[in-house]
Chains A and B, each alone.
Chain A
Amino acid sequence: MSRQPALRVRDLTVTFGTARGPVPAVRDISFDVAPGEVLGLVGESGSGKSTIGLAALGLHDPARTRVEGSIRLGGDGPELVGAPEAVLKRVRGAKAAMVFQDALDALSPYHTIGAQIAEAYRVHHPQASRKEALRRAAAMLERVGIPAARASDHPHHLSGGMRQRVVIAMALVNDPDVLIADEPTTALDARVQRQILDLIRELQAETGTAMVLITHDVGVVAATCHRMLVLRAGEALEEGPTARLLTSAAHPYTRALVQAAPTLRTPPGSRLPTVEDPEPKPRAKARPRTAPAPAGVLAEVRDLRVDYPGRRRSRPHTAVDGVSLRVRHGETLGLVGESGSGKSTIARVLAGLRRPTGGEVRFDGRDISGAATNARLRRELSRDVQLVFQDPYASLNPRRTVEQIVTTPLRVHTDLDAARRRDRAVELLEQVGLSAAHLSRHPHEFSGGQRQRIGIARALAVRPRLVIADEPVSALDVSVQAQVLNLLMDLREELGLSLLFISHDLAVVRHFCDRIAVLKDGGLVETGPRDTVFDTPSAAYTKELLAAVL
Chain B
Amino acid sequence: MTRYLLRRAAQAVAVLLAITALAFALFYAAPSDPALIACGPKCDTAQVEAVRASMGLDQPLLAQFLDYVGGIVTGRTIADVDGTPIPCPAPCLGYSYTLHQPVLAAIADRLPVTVSLAAGALTVILVLGIGSGLAAALRRGRATDRLLSGFSLLGASVQIYFLGYVLQFLLVYSTGLFPLPHYVPFAAHPAQWALGLLLPWLVLGFVNAAVFARLTRSQLLETMHHGYVRTARAKGLGTLRTHLRYTARGAAGPLVQLLGLEVGALFGGAFITETVFGLGGVGKLAVDAVNGNDLPTVVGTVLLAAFFVVVFVAVADVVVAWLDPRVRLA
Which residues in A have some Cβ–Cβ distance to B below 8 Å? 57, 59, 85, 89-94, 97-98, 100, 102, 105-110, 119-120, 123-124, 154, 156, 167, 170, 311-312
Contacts and interface: CB of A to CB of B under 8 A. Distances in A.
B237 interface: yes
B227 interface: yes
Interface stretch (B172-180, B181-189, B322-330): B322-330
B127 to A, nearest CB: 24
Nearest to B227: A105
B236 A106 contact: no
B227 A123 contact: no
Contact of B234 (A57, A85, A154): A57
B contacts with A: majority SS: helix
Given A107-B231, A109-B324, 11 more contacts: A85-B238, A91-B236, A92-B236, A97-B235, A105-B227, A105-B228, A109-B325, A110-B325, A119-B237, A156-B326, A170-B235
Contacts of A85: 238-239
Contact of A97 (B234, B237, B250): B234
A89 B236 contact: yes
Contacts of B324: 109-110
Interface in B270-293: none
Given A123-B235, A124-B236, A311-B330, A100 B230 contact: yes
Nearest to B234: A98
Nearest to B141: A63
A94 B323 contact: no
Contacts, number: 70
Nearest to A314: B330
A108 B230 contact: no
A91 B233 CA distance: 11
B227 A100 contact: yes
Nearest to A167: B231
28 contacts: A59-B233, A89-B237, A89-B238, A90-B236, A91-B236, A92-B233, A93-B234, A93-B235, A98-B231, A100-B227, A105-B226, A106-B228, A106-B231, A107-B227, A108-B228, A108-B232, A109-B324, A110-B246, A110-B250, A110-B323, A110-B324, A110-B325, A124-B236, A154-B326, A156-B326, A170-B231, A311-B330, A312-B330
Contacts of B238: 85, 89
Given A108-B246, A110-B325, A156-B326, A123 B237 contact: yes
Interface of A is mostly: mixed
A373 B141 CA distance: 49
A90 B237 CA distance: 9
A405 B118 CA distance: 54
Interface string B207-240: 0000000000000000000111011111111110
Contacts of B236: 89-94, 120, 123-124
A110 B327 CA distance: 10
> Which 8 pairs show the lowest CB-CB distances between chains A and B?
A105-B227, A93-B236, A93-B235, A108-B228, A106-B227, A92-B236, A120-B235, A98-B234
B135 to A, nearest CB: 16
B255 to A, nearest CB: 15
Contacts of A94: 236
A109 B323 CA distance: 10
B100 interface: no
B267 to A, nearest CB: 31
Given A89-B238, A93-B236, A108-B246, A100 B326 contact: no
Nearest to B250: A110
Task: Give the most central of B227, B231, B232: most A CB within 10 Å.
Answer: B231
B235 A92 contact: yes
B113 to A, nearest CB: 39
